[in-house]
Amino acid sequence: MTLKDLLKKKDKIRDDGASPASPTGATLSPNVPEFQFVRTTTSTQETIEPPSFPGDPQRDSPLLSPEPRGKFPRFRSRSNASSQGGERHRFQLGRSKSNASANVPDNLPEVGGDGVARTEEEEAKWERRATVLVTSGLQHGSQPPTPSHVPMSPMSQGRPTTPRRRSATIGAPGDEETIQEAIRQHEHGDLEASTSLFGKLADPNGANNALAQVLYGLALRHGWGCESNQEQAVQYLSMAASNSAEVEKLALGAGMKKGGAAKGELVLAMYELANCFRNGWGIKKDPTAAKQYYETAANLGDTDAMNEVAWCYIEGFGTKKDKFKAAQFLRLAESKGNKTLGNTW
């Protein structure tokens, strides 16, 4: 994914609602018979779609599960679902003692439902959960140092100073143009100049821009125009998530169900932190935290995170295996335009 695609993803998360847009025009009932043509090899599968024309009726969206829930008894929880305590445990989505993680706080708010956000109200609950997860869970001690790419003022050399962290900025005047210029330099191969601009805006004692902190964290993680430093990358990604969460807390407190101006930055940072926990990039591998971050980002509209948390449920990575839950997230990703080959089951 290019950096431009990353920005488009951020804007889409911010602008989209919790529910996919309803189709326009005539629709067909899901009960009307439908033919599906599939071409397969030993390792791939491709669905052949017939041509469509303006005005053709569209079929109503299918259920999130490929078949009625009753046909998948083996995917249900082993807990006693008929008892009130069993149902409460099933929908709390908290941590079990066996899946304890130092990077996941114990006081995560309950979200209710089946754990998949489909309405603005449900998504708002997940965003409140996200703000607690990133501000109370991931702790790295001191803030990261001023980026080495940023030149220091001659007036400050040789004089002891006390770092003072500025409040986070989201879309400050001039920052957007600087980020676009840094992306242009990155795509033209001038990685050092690009990373220098990202670092300048990411400086917690300077602009403290959340989006720049995400991009600078990625540059540090992968060594784009600088020496790779995965531990410091995690610090900047964590700072981006915390800064964005503070902005979103204010928006949610003001009654904005779709979140505020920093929702896109928050989700991007959480998804990249999940990748760090999953792969051990700059931090000890933590399957439980990876699954929690993927799942939270997925419920805030990140289609990549939807596919990744589905993988967690399929493989039992940081959670118990649950193919029905995996299918729910795969169908949700499909409904938002991110379908992966081989996952239509």
pLDDT in tens, 127-149: 999 999 999 876 544 456 667 65
pLDDT digits (tens, 9 = 90+) for 75-124: 333 334 334 444 443 444 544 445 689 999 999 999 988 999 999 999 99
Cβ atoms < 10 Å from Cβ of 237: 30
The structural domain count of the chain equals: 1
Question: Higher-confidence residue: 78 or 34?
Answer: 34
- Boundaries of domain holding 230: 1-7+120-138+167-281
pLDDT digits (tens, 9 = 90+) for 109-123: 999 889 999 999 999
The DSSP code for 44 is -
Which residues have C-beta within 8 Å of that of residue 209, sequence separation ≥ 6?
Answer: 168, 169, 170, 172, 175, 179, 201, 202
Cβ atoms < 10 Å from Cβ of 227: 8
Residue 322 lies in a domain: no
Query: Which range (53-62, 97-106, 130-139, 243-252) has the least confidence?
Result: 53-62
> Average pLDDT, whole number, for the chain?
79
SS3 letters across 264-324: HHHHHHHHHHHHHHHHCCCCCCCHHHHHHHHHHHHCCCCHHHHHHHHHHHHHCCCCCCCHH
Residue 91 lies in a domain: no
Residue 325 lies in a domain: no
pLDDT digits (tens, 9 = 90+) for 292-344: 999 999 999 999 999 999 999 999 999 999 999 999 999 999 999 998 877 77
For the four alpha carbons of 147, 245, 294 and 133, in that order, the dihedral sign comes to positive
Residue 61 lies in a domain: no
First to last CA, the chain: 26
| 292-304 burial: b if 16+ Cβ within 10 Å, else e | bbbbbbbbbbbbb
